[in-house]
Structure 1
Amino acid sequence: MFPHPVILPVLLLCLGRTIHMQKGQMPRPSISAEPDRVIPQGRPVTIVCQSPIIFEIFRLEKGRSVIWSEENSLPPKKKARFLIPSVNENTTGFYTCIYNRGFSWSLRSETLKLEVTSEDVTQGPATGLAVTSDSTLQSYTVWNGIRMGLAVVILVVLMAILGEAWHSQHRSSDS
């Protein structure tokens, strides 16, 4: 039995919001390349991913492999920028973006084809991209679930304490 009748509706509202976030389809992000999608070999390029809503994690994929991920920072933002310091044959290909918010991943962006021209302006050896494993991204998703669960538990405990305090105060004032 709940100590106060307000706790149950508040708990149901919180759980309903969580379930709604899980079922809703989030809008597709956009993807672009700066300065362009065709780059001379050895030059830098930035792949820009933008979501219509604030994201928690953005990831850049080449084919279906995760290349890079970025967690959102404060202040919250809707854009992630992934720098490739020196374009070469290994960095060309098809890229997509996908973002996470709550327990859900968005639809994938349209595909961006990054191409390299034969002009070589490399100052040194090309470094390519840092690779992030899927297990790292899965741990982010698990952490988001744990955070949401903890928030609900803390809310329920606080509501129970407040309800008990209110109920105790009314019992003592009735005596």
Structure 2
Amino acid sequence: MSQSACLTSDLSSFSPEPGTTMSPSLITLLGVGLWLSQWIRAQEGTLPRPTLQAEPGRLIPHKKSVTLRCRGFPGAEMYRLRREESSQHIDVPTSGREAEFPISSVTPDTTGKYRCLYKNQSHWSEPSEPLDLVMTGWYDKPSLSALPSPEVFSGENVTLRCQSQQWYEKYVLDKEGGANPSYIQVTSPFADFHIIEVTAAHGGSYRCYSLHSDTLYEWSAPSDPLELRVRDASRQDYTGGNLIRLGLAGLVLLILGVLLVEAWHSQRGHLEAAQKPLPRQSNQA
């Protein structure tokens, strides 16, 4: 087992019990331990992999700005940003834990798959996980609708249809706050995204995009948002049972009402017959 692995394992024993508060000295000790483990790995030539993020996000409207932030080792001497579609790279000398790479205007020439890495002494880290920088607003926005309805009960099926005025080879469905968008490859003016057995987790705001297969990082403008509302099926059953019971109760009341009216008319007829004077009999001499 390496020294860094042992140190990380030992530090885990300092974790506080649930519900307790970590003291400042313990927080400092954990921070120093993390830094020390990374320093040991740097001496061994295995630097931790950096992370690459885009702010305000990876979907940027045409000609708007974005900042790519690479976060790595505190003792890094240089950060490098690479675009896989190009042989060029950008180096930023720094002694900090992160470096910023601003892009003032996103165009087709700046979109693509990016990675970053950093240098410590004579060692370069492994590249970060790829980040896809996408430009939106390159084509007219499509429309997004829910079939049969944007309000469904849990357990039901729903289809989200992305409709364009032109034919495209790819369509993308993106959920606000979702991890990864969904792709459909189909040459058509529309694409159907089927959600089978909807759960509460499927609820939220959706948008869709259209694009061509030869320009994967140039998307249309986003559709207007569609709010998918998922209702609890158990409440539906409960409401249905109540409606059935109310309907039966109403039917019973209606029958009782009819019987009461008939009884009243029958009683009234008997009373009128009893009160009617008998015909007089003629006296015969």
- Aligned Cα RMSD in Å? 2.0
Unaligned stretches of 5+ in structure 2? 1-40, 140-285
More strand by share: 2
What is the TM-score normalised by the length of structure 2?
0.32
More helix by share: 1
Unaligned runs of 5+ in 1: 1-19, 121-175
Q: Distance in 2 between matches of 1:44 and 1:37?
A: 11
2:101 to 76, 79, 82: 82
Q: 2:91 corresponds to which residue? A: 69
Structure with larger Rg: 2
Pick closer, same or farther for the CA change 1:43–1:23 going to 2, 3 Å: same
The structure with higher relative contact order (CA 8 Å, sep 6+) is 1
Q: How many pairs were matched up? A: 98
Q: Deviations over 1:126-164 (max 9, x none)?
A: xxxxxxxxxxxxxxxxxxxxxxxxxxxxxxxxxxxxxxx
Identity %: 37
| Deviation (angstroms), 1:119 | 6.0
1:118, CA displacement in angstroms? Answer: 1.4
Per the normalisation by structure 1, the TM-score is 0.52
Q: C-alpha distance in 2, partners of 1:21/1:78?
A: 14
Moved segments of 4+, more than 3 Å: 20-23
Aligned to 2:61: 40
Map Cα deviations across residues 7-42 of structure 1 (whole Å, 9 max, x no partner). Answer: xxxxxxxxxxxxx95642000000000000000000
Q: 1:112 aligns with which of 126, 131, 155?
A: 131
Secondary structure class of the residue paired with 2:137 = strand
The residue that corresponds to 1:31 in the other structure is 52
> 1:69 corresponds to which letter in structure 2?
D
Which residue of structure 2 aligns with residue 92 of structure 1? 111
- Mapped contact 1:22–1:103 kept (Cα < 8 A): no
Distance 2:127 2:88 in 1: 12
- Whether the 8 Å CA contact 1:42–1:87 is kept in 2: the answer is yes
Report the Cα offset of residue 68 of structure 1. Answer: 1.0
Over 3 Å counting, the alpha-carbon distance change for 1:21 and 1:111 in structure 2 is closer
1:65 aligned counterpart, secondary structure: coil
